[in-house]
Amino acid sequence: MNVLSKIAALGALALVTACTNNDPSALGGAGGAGALVPGSASDPRSPAYFQQAVGDRVLFAVDQSTLSPEAQTILQGQADWLLANTDYTATIEGHADEQGTREYNLALGARRANAAREFLISRGVAGNRLQTVSYGKERPIEICSTEECYSKNRRAVTVLTGSTAG
Partner 1 sequence: MMKLLTSLLVGLTLLSAPASAQTGPLRLELDQGIIEPMPFAVPNFVPDTPAAAQYAADISRVIAADLTGTGLFREIAPEAFISRVNSFEAPIQFADWKAINADALLTGAVNLSGNTLTVRFRVWDVFSGQELGNGLQFSGPTDGWRRMAHKVADQVYGRITGEGGYFDSRVAFVSESGPKDQRRKRLAIMDYDGANVQYLTDSAAIVLAPRFSPAGDRLLYTSYESGRPRIYLLDVGRVRKQELKTQDGTMSFSPRFSPDGRSIVYSLTQGGNTDLWKMDLASGQSVRLTNTPAIETAPSYSPDGSRIVFESDRSGQPQLYVMPANGGEATRISFGQGRYGTPVWSPRGDLIAFTKQNKGRFHIGVMRVDGSEERLLTASFLDEGPTWSPNGRVIMFTRETQGASGRSSLYSVDISGRNLRPVRTPDGGSDPSWGPLLN
Q: How far apart are CA 81 and CA 1, in angstroms?
A: 23
Span of 7-15, 49-57, 77-85, 95-103 interacting with partner 1 by CB under 8 A: 95-103
102 binds partner 1 (CB under 8 A): yes
104 binds partner 1 (CB under 8 A): yes
Considering the complex, what minimum distance in angstroms separates the CB of residue 106 from partner 1? 6
Out of 41, 100, 150, 162, which residue is the one contacting partner 1 (CB under 8 A)? 100
Q: What is the DSSP string of the chain?
A: -HHHHHHHHHHHHHHHHGGG---TTSSTTT-SGGG--TTSTTSTTSHHHIIIIIISEEE--TT--PPPHHHHHHHHHHHHHHHH-TTEEEEEEEE--SSS-HHHHHHHHHHHHHHHHHHHHHTT--GGGEEEEEEETS--S---SSHHHHHHHSEEEEEEEEETT-
122 binds partner 1 (CB under 8 A): no
66 binds partner 1 (CB under 8 A): no
Out of 73, 141, 164, 165, which residue is the one contacting partner 1 (CB under 8 A)? 141
Considering the complex, what minimum distance in angstroms separates the CB of residue 39 from partner 1? 25
63 binds partner 1 (CB under 8 A): yes
Q: How far apart are CA 83 and CA 153, in angstroms?
A: 27
Out of 107, 129, 152, 159, which residue is the one contacting partner 1 (CB under 8 A)? 107
* Residues engaged in binding partner 1 (CB under 8 A): 63, 65, 98-104, 106-108, 110-111, 113-115, 117-118, 131-135, 138-145
